[in-house]
Structure 1
Amino acid sequence: MSMSSSSNTSPKIALVTGGSRGLGRNTALALARRGVDVILTYRSQRAEAEQVVAEIRTLGRRAKALPLDVGHSSGFPAFAAALRAQLAETWQRERFDFLINNAGIGAHALLAETSEAQFDELMRIHLKGPFFLTQALLPLLADGGRIVNLSSGLTRFALPGYGAYAAMKGGVEVLTRYLAKELGGRGIAVNTVAPGAIETDFGGGTVRDNAQVNAFIAGQTALGRVGLPDDIGPVIAALLAEDNRWINAQRIEASGGMFL
């Protein structure tokens, strides 16, 4: 049963940031398979984003791609205006239903070697970005809607070199709980999905392409392998299903059981 199957209701609309590749792309497609229309954002990979839009349309859903740099909050008012216009033009709607704060970058540096520039970039993209983008889009998010923020298994277990990145994601997890508290009056549920190590091009594709890293992670995972994008996108899509409406303010780790 799809989320849009109830009678006389419009399809749900999801906004997925960083939807041109990796987990964002997988999430967008997983949502489309469940009957959700998708607006995805991209920073520079317009051709890749349009390819995802085309794939979503072959699944029978409507989709659009919009440019957005989550690391520059000064652009958020203009993005909100562009989103408002797109909703009116394509869907004849004023609101969207699901916000998935997925866009991000990888970084690897020991704490003793992390530069202020690296720290500030991670802060802008992973914490300040979701904070102020969510703020800017709250007037466009439907009452009864949902927000999913992406975190990381690295907030639960520590691997040297990811301290600054994990600190930002820890902030995201706290932010999720506060959003859930403050938006509860509008019926908006807010949760965090925390992937374990996944084979994508994230962080230079280390997990996917470095056989030694891949084997190490597989050996530390209860299910005996490294994660794939298809292990994450459907989790996010399922969390947004009506059946899961009562899950709120939670951190849900999808890691196959890493470091148990």
Structure 2
Amino acid sequence: MSTTTTENTNRVVLVTGASRGLGRSAARHLAAAGTGVIGTYQSNRAEADAMVEEVRAAGVPAAALRLDVEDASTFESFAGEVADALRAAGAEHLHAVVHFAGFGAFAPYTETTAEQVEQMLRVHVSAPFLLTQALLPLMTEGGRVLNVSSGLARFTNPGYAAYAAAKGAVEVLTRYQAAELGPRGIRVNALVPGAIATDFGGGVVRDVEEVNRAVAGAIALGRVGEADDIGAAVPALLGDGMRWADGTRIELSGGQSL
């Protein structure tokens, strides 16, 4: 069953981290809006294939490509794979790139190692910086880039200094990308989720009842977020109705730590 609209016909979006969590939800909602999806995965091919089936069931093209966002040396060849996937989908260009791939790690500031900091920067800063750069020749004029930050870049939760610092850098990067890609009409924004009940960070918000309850108590709407609270917003953020949003952070946290 397809709900393809004229606005979204022939649009294809690249979603990193599409085999799980927020990326998987975004892929489903994009498909429901009539947008094709090229999703990436790191290791779980079975889940990536399941994502492709879900997207194709909505009547739009889909593909899954393996990508390790920590290895920037592969980005140029990956762009070639994306070009092949676009041709197979009957599309000339990418409409948008959405950067969901990533992970969280808990470590007190005084115990965080250099390698942990460097890995956070590679995954959460270098990847959206350099992967977007590699994909620019494939992007349509007037396309979109959606980086993904975190509410932890605004409020603090001890133990996430490296992760939050990297996400703060993502928000600065977003503004610079918007300024420099504006001449092509490419809009760049940062999607900022609050606490979400997924397997992220070991699933602590989802699976540990006291953590879930404590986090919900800090959210104005009285509950932690679900993956679909974020995924459902992605088609809207990439759509023409948000065409005047550029270089901004868009927080979806239910009113967390206001």
Give the TM-score band, short-chain normalised.
over 0.9
Equivalent positions of 1:36-75 (< 5 A) are 36-75=35-74
How do 1:53-132 and structure 2 match up within 5 A? 53-88=52-87, 90-132=88-130
Over the matched positions of the two proteins, sequence identity in percent amounts to: 52
Pick aligned residue for 2:223 from 210, 218, 225: 225
- Which structure 2 segments of 5+ residues have no match? none
Partner of 1:147: 145
- The alpha carbon displacement at 1:141 in A equals 0.9
**Moved segments of 4+, more than 4 Å:** none
2-structure distance, mates of 1:57, 1:84: 19
Shift of the alpha carbon at 1:93? 3.3
CA–CA separation in structure 1 for the residues paired with 2:60 and 2:81: 20
Normalised to the residue count of structure 1, the TM-score between the two structures is: 0.96
Deviation, structure 1 residue 3 = 7.2
Structure 1 unmatched runs, 5+: none
Paired position in structure 1 for 2:209: 211
Q: Map Cα deviations across residues 93-122 of structure 1 (whole Å, 9 max, x no partner).
A: 331111001100111111100011111111
Is the contact made by 2:12 and 2:91 (CA closer than 8 Å) also made in structure 1? no
Structure 1 Cα separation of the partners of residues 242 and 128 of structure 2? 23
Deviations 1:161-198 (A, max 9, x none): 01110000000000000000000000010000100000
Q: Deviations over 1:16-66 (max 9, x none)?
A: 000001000000111111110000000001110110110111111110000
Query: Quick one: structure 1 residues 252 and 20, their matched pair in 2 at CA, closer, same or farther if it must change by over 3 Å?
Result: same
Q: Is the 8 Å Cα contact of residues 15 and 40 (structure 2) preserved in structure 1?
A: yes
Determine the C-alpha separation between the residues in 1 that align with 2:218 and 2:86.
Answer: 44
Normalization by structure 2: what TM-score? 0.97
How large is the Cα RMSD of the aligned pairs?
Answer: 1.2
Q: Deviations over 1:204-228 (max 9, x none)?
A: 1010011111000000100000100
2:17 aligned counterpart, secondary structure: coil
One-letter code aligned to 2:12: I
Q: Contact (CA 8 Å) 1:199, 1:228: kept in 2 or not?
A: yes
